[in-house]
Structure 1
Amino acid sequence: MKKIIYTLLFFLFTGSMFAQSQKDFPVTEEWLEKIEALLPSEPRVQAPVRKIMVFSQHTGFYHWIIPHNDEMLKILAKKTGAFEITIARDIDSFDKKNLKQYDAVILNNSNPSGPDRDLFADLLKKNSSLGEARIAELSAAYEGNLMDYVAKGGGLFIMHGAITVQNNSQKFSAMVGGSFDYHPKQQEMHLKEVDSGHPLVQAFNGEGFTHIDEPYFFKNAYFDYNFRPLLYIEADKLEGKRAEVDNNTIYVAWIKRHGKGRVFYSSPSHNAQSMDQPELLQFFLDGLQYVVGDLPADDSPMDKPE
């Protein structure tokens, strides 16, 4: 009953916030104090302090939650003592030498512009006077650096829109588990656990997670199902989808291996109000511990739907 009452109050509050303006939700001291109180006090697994680079630059659609995520992750690092967080925005952050000093990289809603959907090329165009051929060459090199970093054992945590970082690259799509296709309007969604016994969804206690967000649909490597799904939504419960969905299932969070490294994707992370539910914050912490290799979890690929 307590959970039901909390959920109702959450949606009454967030509903009014959405009716105003999502952009009228600044990072305030009051919000920081609330998030600090909601965040877990310690990680599930005690381990050495891990160094994390949070890349929070974008060139396309700006997700207003970017600064909220930055602050949440900094508080999480301090409160648990499990991480050292570096916020990065420069493309040189993806130099091989720089990447080597980190245990994991978080891509924080790092959306590139369309239709090319190439964040590295966008940043080079914006911050240099290089010609198109050289930009294409360097962009491919930065993409390769990130992919090699993961293949050699680095962790990669992708938040919501950052799945578009190299959205038209088939190689990148294969590494992260898919590419962004489209999303209908924001709406209330009930995310359900694929396997309530999986260690990375313990936070939801078998009850799933309900919030307001963009329901993402995916393409490219997504249909290889070369990942271990964690959360899904039911297509027939959504408004505005373009076509019917096989098996009525859309996976919105998953983990997977890439070489010696680990990848965690979480579509939930569009609205800061979602973090009012501590289950999501615990889910983020567990995912981060997974990608740095501290929280063991079954990440074998799922069986393809028939």
Structure 2
Amino acid sequence: MVSNRMKLAMGAAGLVGLCATLAMAQPPAAPPAGAPGAAPGAPGAAPARPRGPGLVMPDAPGGVKPTPDSPGMRQGSTNGVPNLVPKYEDVWATLDALPDALAAKPKKDRRVLVYSKPGGFVHSSIPLTAWTIKLMGEKNGGWQTDISFAQKDITAANLAKYDVLVLNNTTGAFLDDKDDAAGTEARKKALLDFVRSGHGLALFHAATDSYHTNANAPGGIKGTWPEWNKLAGGIFKWHWFYPQAIPVKLDDAKSPLNAGFNGKGFTVHEELYTFTMDSFSRKNVHVLTSIDYPKMSAEDKAKEDAATKRTDGDYAISWIHKEGQGRVYYSALGHSEHVLAMPAILKQWQAGIQYAAGDLAADDSPSAK
């Protein structure tokens, strides 16, 4: 009989194979010899860095807290070139971090669609995130997963097959086709109708970096699709640069989505997103975790542009809320692969997807009245 561990290992092999195909379809340009992105061993190239475990949560069993130069705190790139293929050690670290049990028993067989085609910046963590969600669902029987990189899969007919739509680092105008205005509007309507009719939406990291103007536009950062901006819960405006140390507090320690943290805050090294004052409000969402802002140093606080800095010191990281008859979960974590080796984070992600599916009951009333 094939063990669960072996099944997951076989899934990991499929992960690397699929991502290798993706990498071949989108090869990064080769840098000149001696450039920061030159291949290891090329004249002037930096030596290849050793790979570490990627664990940064001190409170996690067996976790380690790397120093700024530790290989466990690397960006998802090699000598400046994005890693479109996950490193084997990232895959195995993620397998070791997968939750051992579901947060709730599914009410029926669930299907999840992980849409992973960004319209803007492409995060190197996209392939690993997609397959982590797939393996996480399969391990404990929470859901079955399809992974898509094609806009043609965002239709009312296709979405009807699923309980939850996951948007995996979908930056920019990810549903738009400049040559097909009717198709663009149909996809937008299909997404909104899917959620509002009672289904679930789970958003990870850069999904909030979508449908907005840039900081240099007249009037600054503004949403360009108001219904989406409200649905997401916030519009990205700025981030600390990886590997910034971020102190995290639990805003709702009793929420079943936060059970994996055992009532304790933690520190994560991450490129963490922040949101515009007029887009994110606790009056609209139920906040699960946020930056423990008073614990940040004055030097780290000063890194944020004063012109767009939040005046309330409120920097949410994860939240949930109702949308019509449906449910939305968001986590700002997931820029770098090492986050997927943190067991407590994956427990929240799993619980967030189960909440979105309607299997996990949780207080999703706005945090502020």
TM superposition score category, shorter chain reference: 0.7 to 0.9
Structure 1 residues 208 and 19: alpha-carbon distance in aligned structure 2, compared to 1, 3 A threshold: farther
- Deviation, 1:171, is 1.2
CA separation of 1:213 and 1:31: change in aligned 2, threshold 3 A: closer
2:259 is matched with which residue?
Answer: 202
**Range 184-193 or range 253-262, more displaced:** 184-193
**CA distance in 1: counterparts of 2:114 and 2:83, whole angstroms:** 24
CA contact (8 A) 1:27 1:67 kept: yes
1:119 aligns with 2:177: no
Structure with greater Cα Rg: 2
> What CA distance in whole angstroms lies between the structure 1 residues aligned with 2:322 and 2:79?
38
What is aligned with 1:242? 305
Q: What's 1:159 paired with?
A: 204
Whether the aligned pair in 1 keeps the contact of 2:129 and 2:340 (CA below 8 Å) is no
Distance change >3 Å, CA 138–CA 33, structure 1 → 2: same
- Please show how residues 18-167 of structure 1 align to structure 2 within 5 Å: 21=79, 23=82, 26-47=85-106, 48-112=108-172, 118-121=173-176, 124-125=177-178, 130=179, 134-135=180-181, 137-167=182-212
Q: Which moved more, 1:194-203 or 1:165-174?
A: 165-174
- With over 3 angstroms needed to count, the CA separation of the structure-2 counterparts of 1:40 and 1:177, relative to structure 1, is same
The alpha carbon displacement at 1:60 in A equals 1.1
User: Which of the two has greater strand per residue?
Assistant: 1
SS of alignment partner, residue 281 of structure 1: helix
Match of 2:289 in 1: 231
* Maintained 8 Å contact 2:282/2:367: no
- State the 1:20 CA deviation: 6.2
Q: Taking structure 1 as reference, are residues 3 and 229 closer, same or farther at Cα in structure 2, changes over 3 Å only?
A: closer
Partners of 2:282 and 2:366 within 8 A in 1: no
Report the identity percentage.
27
Distance 2:134 2:59 in 1: 28
Equivalent position of 1:221 in the other structure? 279
Distance 2:67 2:76 in 1: 12
CA separation of 1:15/1:178 partners in 2, compared to 1, >3 Å: closer, same or farther? closer
TM-superposed deviation, 1:138: 3.1
Q: Distance in 2 between matches of 1:277 and 1:26?
A: 20
In structure 2, relative to structure 1, the CA distance for the partners of 1:3 and 1:144 (3 Å cut) is: same
TM-score by length of 1: 0.86
Task: Give the distance between the partners of 1:18 and 1:54, measured in 2 at CA.
Answer: 20
1:79: Cα distance to partner? Answer: 0.9
The 1:179/1:35 distance shift into structure 2, 3 A limit, reads same
Q: Report deviation, 1:109.
A: 0.3
Q: Which one is further off, 185-194 or 25-34?
A: 25-34
In 1, the alpha carbon distance for the partners of 2:116 and 2:76 equals: 23
Q: What do the CA deviations read for 1:65-102 (whole angstroms, capped 9, x no partner)?
A: 00110121121122111111000111121110011110
The answer to whether the 8 A contact 1:231-1:251 is kept is yes
SS at match of 1:298: coil
Query: What SS is found at the alignment partner of 1:265?
Result: strand
Name the CA distance, whole Å, in 2 between partners of 1:31 and 1:234.
28
Q: CA deviation at 1:221?
A: 3.0
Kindly indicate whether the alpha-carbon contact (under 8 Å) linking 1:177 and 1:225 is maintained by their aligned counterparts in 2. Answer: no
Q: Which residue type is aligned with residue 200 of structure 2?
A: G
- Please list the CA deviations of residues 16-35 of structure 1 after superposition, one character each: whole Å capped at 9, or x if unmatched: 66796573584244433332
Shift of 1:14: 2.0
Q: Using a 3 Å threshold, how does the CA distance of structure 1 residues 138 and 164 change in structure 2: closer, same or farther?
A: farther
Q: Scaled by the length of structure 2, what TM-score is found?
A: 0.72
5+ unaligned residues in a row in structure 1: which ranges?
A: 113-117
Q: C-alpha offsets along residues 141-195 of structure 1, whole Å, 9 cap, x if unaligned?
A: 3112101110001100000001233342111111221211222322111221102
Distance verdict in 2 for CA 1:25–1:204, change over 3 Å: farther
Q: Is the 8 A contact 1:153 1:262 kept in 2?
A: yes
**Residue in 2 that maps onto 1:115:** none
CA distance in 2, matches of 1:31, 1:224: 35
Higher helix share: 1
